[in-house]
């Protein structure tokens, strides 16, 4: 998010008069959630705001070299969504909503799914949707490409340089600068906080409470038997609470939707997959892809989501402090939104409001208002 926002701010700087953009990174680019992202790029959401963000972002991923330059690694695989009997009604309503905002997706027959994904068990599904244009990208590569373009547009990127504090005027109503951990002071009247799982801690240090929690999530890679499952699209299996996508030549990446542990300090968490997770997810994925029951487990690791009470992000200014903005809380699905998030945050900062689309459902005040975004299947199966 930081790289996308900095790049988009620089690309539009002439129009809104920002003179200098500096990106501060605590460690290295992609060292937070982004570097561990499964980087699925799919459109299946339960709210129009997320579906539209994803659809508009997809157009940037598909034309990345022309728009931003460099490699985002977008790989079109198509995307399948399997729903069980309990979820099929909301699933159908979600497909209709996605189509209404322009997403190309449709409900398909089990026989069509079997053709798209040879070796998959498809007959138990109460509904199956297919997005022909979706796929996955390279999350670290995308961040790096945004950073490279940002640098070319004049952005200064300071690595291993944490922001220590946002400085305000006497009564705390206006941003006046940012102090770095090594003691530098950058004079500025605009600061955008996009610190992923660190957001809540960083802002709490400034007396600002945001309902964001870091949670730990695991991912496994299986080496699949190519004679049985030669290829397959990306997808989500709502009944078995897993998501999957192909990785490289012969791996299938699998994540899950029903385990999450809250992590107090984003710098301290177990980074490897646990035995309990492996046993559980292995059984569940084998219900959808039976040949994986005997596959080799090639890798397992964990990363952090940043959860909000409605699993939707915050893209907003912070009320009461002029010049302070917040971008975060993307749960397990922010990577695919990052191209549009950069565009919209640059509009919000530079022009005073997001113009390309309505992001009011993502305002920070919704939590206090009790106006949470609805929908969802009750768990975060869709990465």
Ligand X SMILES: Cc1cc2nc3c(=O)[nH]c(=O)nc-3n(C[C@H](O)[C@H](O)[C@H](O)COP(=O)(O)OP(=O)(O)OC[C@H]3O[C@@H](n4cnc5c(N)ncnc54)[C@H](O)[C@@H]3O)c2cc1C
**Residues near 134 by Cβ (< 8 Å), separated by ≥ 6?**
40, 41, 42, 43, 58, 76, 77, 78, 79, 233, 234
Q: Which residues from 13-72 bind ligand X, rule CB under 6 A?
A: 24-27, 31-34, 36-40
Q: Which residues from 315-354 bind ligand X, rule CB under 6 A?
A: 328, 330, 332-336
Does 196 bind ligand X (CB under 6 A)? Our answer is: yes
Output 126 or 258, the one with its CB closest to ligand X: 258
Output 229 or 254, the one with its CB closest to ligand X: 254
24 DSSP β-pair partners:
158
Q: How far is the CB of 235 from ligand X (least distance, A)?
A: 11
Rounded to 10°, the helix 48-62/338-351 angle is 100
User: x/- contact string, 156-195, with ligand X (CB under 6 A)?
Assistant: ------xx------------------------------xx
Output 3 or 128, the one with its CB closest to ligand X: 3
Q: How far is the CB of 89 from ligand X (least distance, A)?
A: 25
- Encode 133-155: b = buried (16+ Cβ within 10 Å), e = exposed: bbbbbbbbbbbbbbbbbbeebeb
Output 7 or 163, the one with its CB closest to ligand X: 163
3-state secondary structure of 246: strand
Q: Checking DSSP bridges between strand 40-41 and strand 261-263, what pairing results, if any?
A: unpaired
Q: Which residues from 111-140 bind ligand X, rule CB under 6 A?
A: 139
Q: How far is the CB of 310 from ligand X (least distance, A)?
A: 15
Q: Which residues from 286-315 bind ligand X, rule CB under 6 A?
A: 303-305
Q: How many residues bind ligand X, per CB under 6 A?
A: 38
DSSP assigned state of 269: S
Q: How far is the CB of 111 from ligand X (least distance, A)?
A: 28
Beta strand extents in the chain (DSSP E only) = 22-24, 40-41, 75-76, 79-83, 106-108, 127-131, 135-136, 156-158, 163-168, 175-180, 185-187, 191-193, 213-223, 234-237, 242-247, 251-256, 261-263, 296-307, 314-317, 324-328
Q: How far is the CB of 200 from ligand X (least distance, A)?
A: 11
Residues lying near ligand X in the complex (CB under 6 A) are found at 1-2, 24-27, 31-34, 36-40, 139, 162-163, 194-198, 202, 217, 219, 255, 303-305, 328, 330, 332-336, 383
């Amino acid at each position: 998010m930081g790289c996308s926002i900095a790049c988009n701010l620089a690309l539009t700087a002439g129009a809104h008069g920002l003179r200098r953009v500096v990106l501060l990174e605590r460690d290295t680019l992609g060292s937070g959630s982004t570097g561990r992202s499964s980087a699925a790029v799919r459109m299946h959401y339960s709210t129009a705001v997320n579906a539209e963000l994803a659809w508009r972002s997809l157009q940037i991923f598909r034309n990345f070299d022309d728009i931003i330059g460099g490699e985002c690694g977008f790989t079109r695989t198509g995307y399948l969504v399997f729903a069980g009997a309990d979820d099929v009604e909301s699933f159908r309503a979600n497909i209709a909503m996605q189509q209404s905002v322009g997403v190309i997706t449709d409900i398909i027959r089990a026989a069509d799914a079997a053709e798209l994904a040879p070796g998959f068990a498809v007959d138990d599904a109460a509904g199956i949707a297919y997005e022909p244009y979706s796929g996955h990208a390279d999350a670290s590569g995308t961040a790096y490409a945004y950073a490279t373009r940002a640098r070319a547009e004049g952005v200064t990127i300071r690595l291993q340089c944490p922001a220590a504090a946002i400085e305000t005027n006497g009564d705390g109503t206006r941003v006046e600068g940012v102090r770095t951990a090594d003691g530098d002071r950058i004079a500025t009247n605009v600061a955008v906080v996009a610190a992923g799982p660190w957001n809540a801690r960083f802002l709490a240090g400034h007396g600002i409470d945001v309902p964001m929690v870091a949670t730990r999530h695991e991912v496994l890679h299986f080496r699949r038997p190519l004679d049985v499952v030669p290829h397959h699209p990306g997808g989500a299996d709502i009944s078995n609470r897993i998501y999957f996508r192909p990785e490289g030549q012969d791996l299938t990446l699998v994540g899950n939707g029903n385990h999450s542990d809250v992590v107090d300090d984003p710098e301290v968490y177990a980074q490897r997959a646990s035995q309990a997770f492996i046993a559980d997810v292995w059984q569940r994925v084998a219900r959808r892809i039976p040949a994986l029951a005997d596959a080799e487990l090639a890798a397992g690791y964990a990363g952090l989501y940043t959860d909000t009470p409605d699993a939707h992000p915050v893209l907003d200014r912070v009320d009461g402090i002029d010049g302070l903005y917040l971008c975060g809380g993307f749960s397990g699905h922010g990577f695919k939104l990052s191209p549009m998030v950069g565009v919209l945050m640059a509009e919000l900062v530079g022009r005073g409001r997001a113009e390309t689309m309505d992001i009011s459902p993502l305002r920070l005040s919704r939590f206090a208002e009790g106006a949470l975004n609805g929908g969802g299947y009750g768990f975060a199966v869709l990465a």
